[in-house]
Copies of this chain bind each other. A is one copy, B any other.
Amino acid sequence: MKEIDLNCDMGESFGVYKLGMDEQVMKHISSANIACGFHAGDPLVMDKTIKMAVKNKVGIGAHPGYPDLLGFGRRHIACSPEEIRNYLIYQVSAIKGFCHVHGAKLSHVKPHGALYLDAVEKKDIAQAIARGIMSLDPDLYFVALAGKKGDMMRRMGEELGLKVIYEAFPDRAYTPEGTLLPRKQPGAVISDPDEVAKRALDMANGFVTAVDGTKIELFVQTLCVHGDTLGAVNLVANIRKNLEANDIKVKPMGESPDHGIKTI
């Protein structure tokens, strides 16, 4: 029986500001990427979100970002690799502490927003992130982009000895080369719920239909889903239902036997 992980960004509230339908979406996903206080999240939100993840038996990951609450970590900041490595250590350690308090284990690290995008594009940033993770705990899974575009990012993790998890986006269009269509291009984001659920199933089966209609191979271990709106939550429920109806088991990343052993 095949397996796949459904991951979602969580714990992005801050103080009185609420973001995301964490309680609802937590019931349908298998892994939560939890903000660590730099681009979003605060100590109380982290505490509450981890408690919720534990209760729902969801895998817990750190979701570190640039130190930019005002820009929600979505703006590139020209940090040095040394800065990034230390920002990683700080954020991941903080959330690891909360996991310990709740008797939970931190399973993975997935960089947020501009930090993720920069890791895809820039070798020294991908490396700085991987080094930060490695120096803290070599057992942490490093979530990186599946497909050709993510080759460098994943290699930076694998070369250091990290276990890399291949991530794909069921609501995003891919080129025939297996690369994400840039967000600014028309059709880059797919909004039809049935179409997204179908693509999630395809991805779990190792392929995706590119924008030109060709069916291409794509090795995927986790699918990124969203929980910001009621519509998004329903979509996640639908994705999961469709996966399970087609004999794909939804499990936290790292629990599948082949996790972290794929080599490029």
Contact = CB atoms under 8 A, between A and B. Distances in A.
Contacts of A69: 14-15, 69
Interface string A62-78: 00000111111001111
A71 B79 contact: yes
A212 to B, nearest CB: 31
Interface string A10-51: 000011111100000000000000000100001110110000
B90 A46 contact: yes
Contacts of A75: 77-79
B43 A90 contact: yes
Given A69-B15, A70-B42, A72-B15, A89 B97 contact: yes
Contacts of A83: 43-44, 71
A88 to B, nearest CB: 8
A89 B72 CA distance: 21
B19 A16 contact: yes
Nearest to A92: B97
A96 to B, nearest CB: 6
A47 to B, nearest CB: 5
B37 A90 contact: yes
Given A44-B83, A47-B89, A77-B78, 7 more contacts: A16-B19, A44-B86, A47-B86, A67-B70, A76-B78, A94-B94, A101-B135
A136 interface: yes
Interface of A: 14-19, 37, 42-44, 46-47, 67-72, 75-79, 82-83, 86-87, 89-98, 100-101, 114, 135-136
Given A37-B90, A43-B87, A78-B76, A14 B70 contact: yes
A87 B97 CA distance: 11
Best-buried of A17, A87, A96 by chain B (most CB within 10 Å):
A17
Contacts of A37: 90
Given A47-B86, A77-B77, A96 B93 contact: yes
Nearest to A98: B89
A164 B47 CA distance: 26
Nearest to A66: B77
A90 B94 contact: yes
Nearest to A90: B43
Contacts of A87: 43
